[in-house]
Amino acid sequence: MSNMSRRSVLANSVALTAAGALACPYIANAAATTATVWNVQGFVPEEDEAFKKVVADYEKASGNKIEYSIMPFMALNQKTISAITSKDVPDLIFHDAPETILPQFAWNDQLVDVSDIVETQKDNFSPTALECSSYYNSSKKARSYYLCPVKQGATPFHIWGDLVEKAGFKLADAPKTWDAYWDFFKQMQKPLRDKGMRKMYALGLQCTTVGPNDSGNLWQHFMQANGGGNVVSPDGKLHTDDKDVLEAAIRTTSWMAAAYKDGFVPPEALSWNDADDNNGFHEKLFVMDLDGTISTEVAMIHDHQKYYVESVTMGLPNGNDGQPVKAFIGAGGGFIPVGANNIEAAKDFAKFYIQPDVLNANLKQGLGRWMPAMPALTKSDPFWLDPADPHRAPYVRQGTEYTRPSFNAYNPAWAQVQAEQLVMQTVADVVKGGMTAQAAVDKAFKRAEEIFTKYTFG
């Protein structure tokens, strides 16, 4: 931990891409000062050490100091909400996938516009990362950048390949369409239990109403695969009155509720938090899981057998119509709350952090759980597509080739929908409340429509 003074320098950084060298930004000169930075705790110690190295490198390059705190995801979420609400804020916050809170803070004019920082590397960022970093400000009646993206993450399938084989199946035989793909793994539960794994389940389906992230992320993937990926369009409008969206929601709720009631999902899944499916996978409680980033795998990277031999990472199958589906992307990075005491210092550090070689080295040291928000780096640096790693390459391909932002990027109303757990509550209403899937969806959509009336663009 340290303080932050501020004698900035020209930071020398060049990362080669297929198009040539990525530009390096100018770190502006300023008077010495101290700034406070909060950072999200990594899933593995290497991520925290990588952040500390960025801090140390910045201090050495600039002569400035940073006082930082590292805290777990949910604690950082809660502390950020409390700080911004009370206006007692740090100067800069680095967070993983903060789309559940940033859209509303931007809407309420509680974040500092960081367009000047993003512009220093804008040509290098992926279009999806930029979409995930731009939010509408209702006071200014305009969309702008409120997140300095560093990383982006996709949602791959995590599979115990050894259990698939033990059950008498081959991953190569997995169907290519959505429901059939999931159903393929259901078949493995009985033979595995017959072989003595009595507490084994087929699916790590996060049908939780606790969340906050995994259940909503899972739901939007099912919706897209079922032809309802236009729930919220890029113009911020809600389309719950669309026939395809309604049918996709009913189909999604019906399928998940049936999978749970038929016993293919651990019974405690209805109240999982975002880490419980990771823990369940590590315990071999189930065969497969769909979950964001490769946090599940990197946590096992020092166990050669589990990481390199037994576990498998796979991208998304096609939708139920046979057409490819886009990978939903969440972006992580830095943002500055209104009321920060040292905005100039915070911006200077953020500019340093988003330099191509700095963010690339940071994410590599963090074992590649997140991929760079600059896709060219994944092609120029062999680390990202190394065929010797069974997880990173398929994950990176999924997260850089055919992508879209989460619905939160289009309208902050969806962040509230997600915070209220509306979409996955439909499954709980069917499972625990005895409602029909259509009644459960109608209930959730009615509430979503009420929320969206509070957010009018223009």
Kindly give the confidence (pLDDT) of every residue in the chain, 458 residues in length, as a single tens digit, with 9 standing for 90 and above: 333 333 333 233 333 333 333 444 434 444 568 889 999 999 899 999 999 999 999 999 988 899 999 999 989 999 999 999 999 999 999 999 888 899 999 999 999 999 999 999 999 999 999 999 999 999 999 999 999 999 999 999 999 999 999 999 999 999 999 999 999 999 999 999 999 999 999 999 999 998 667 899 999 999 999 999 999 999 999 999 999 999 999 999 999 999 999 999 999 999 998 889 999 999 999 999 999 999 999 999 999 999 999 999 999 999 999 999 999 999 999 999 999 999 999 999 999 999 999 999 999 999 999 999 999 999 999 999 999 999 999 999 999 999 999 999 999 999 889 889 999 999 999 999 999 999 999 999 999 999 999 998 87
What is the spatial distance between Cα 29 and Cα 63, in angstroms, rounded to a whole number? Answer: 11
Residue in 236, 302, 281 with CA at minimum distance from that of residue 457: 236
Q: What is the pLDDT of residue 212?
A: 64
Q: Sign of the CA dihedral 245, 251, 252, 253?
A: positive
Alpha carbon 2 to its chain's center: 29
Distance of CA 354 to the CA centre of its chain: 18
> Residue 227 corresponds to which tokens in the numbers above?
């032809």
What does the pLDDT read at residue 14?
A: 32
Cβ–Cβ < 8 Å for 58, 11: no
Q: Which residues contact 243 (CB under 8 A, 6 or more apart)?
A: none
Give the largest CA-CA distance in the chain: 70
d(CA 160, CA 281): 8
Which token pair is 280?
A: 């369940």
- CB-based contacts of 451, cutoff 8 Å, min separation 6: 413, 416, 417, 420
C-alpha distance from residue 257 to each of 38, 67, 280 (Å):
39, 47, 20
Strands (E) in 273-429, as ranges, are: 286-290, 311-314, 327-335, 371-372, 403-405
pTM of this structure: 0.90
How are strands ordered across the β-sheet holding 201-203? 201-203, 286-290, 157-160, 311-314
CA dihedral 220, 221, 222, 228 (to 10 degrees): 60
Burial of 366 (0-12, 13-18, 19+ CB in 10 A): buried
Q: Is 434 left (phi over 0), alpha (psi -120 to 50) or beta?
A: left
Which residues make Cβ contacts (< 8 Å) with residue 193, sequence separation at least 6?
Answer: 200
DSSP 42: P
Distance CA 150, CA 353 (A): 8
pLDDT, position 31: 56
Give the C-alpha separation, 333 to 134, whole Å: 12
Token code pair at residue 353: 């952090």
Is residue 153 within 8 Å of 370, Cβ to Cβ?
yes
What are the chain's domains?
A: 16-153+328-401 (3.40.190.10), 157-291+420-452 (3.40.190.10)
